[in-house]
Amino acid sequence: EAQVTQNPRYLITVTGKKLTVTCSQNMNHEYMSWYRQDPGLGLRQIYYSMNVEVTDKGDVPEGYKVSRKEKRNFPLILESPSPNQTSLYFCASSLLTEGEAFFGQGTRLTVV
């Protein structure tokens, strides 16, 4: 089954404790991205990657890191999480020239 898999689905952590949210897709998509979604603000892009070893900042990259060492994986790293990073996070992938995005099920992160 074609899918994008995020883990964990739910995470509560403390300020400053490094965490990684994993994202994996099995559709051989070149393009992957991370979004956060907050009430009233819609989807805001954090980082994106157009292919292996190619990553770029989105609209709200501060406080986040990503890597793309393999085509299928695109982890999101919070080196020192803060309460303002409490949000619902989505990973998405697509074929570069088609635009249709496939989303993971989301990760609800709470930083206390």
* Site residues for another protein per CB under 8 A: 31, 33, 40-43, 48, 88, 90, 94, 96-106, 108
- Comparing CB distances to another protein, the nearer of 74 and 90 is 90
Residues 58 and 112: their CA atoms lie apart, in Å, by 25
Amino acid at 100: E
In the complex, the smallest distance separating the C-beta of residue 47 from another protein, rounded to whole angstroms, is 12
**Residue whose CB is less far from another protein, 91 or 111:** 91
Reference 90, options 47, 34, 44; nearest CA is 34
- Least Cβ distance, residue 70 to another protein (angstroms): 21
Alpha-helical (H) ranges within the chain are: none
Taking the complex as a whole, the smallest distance from the CB of residue 74 to another protein amounts, in Å, to 15
Q: Phi and psi at residue 39, in whole multiples of 5°?
A: -55, 130
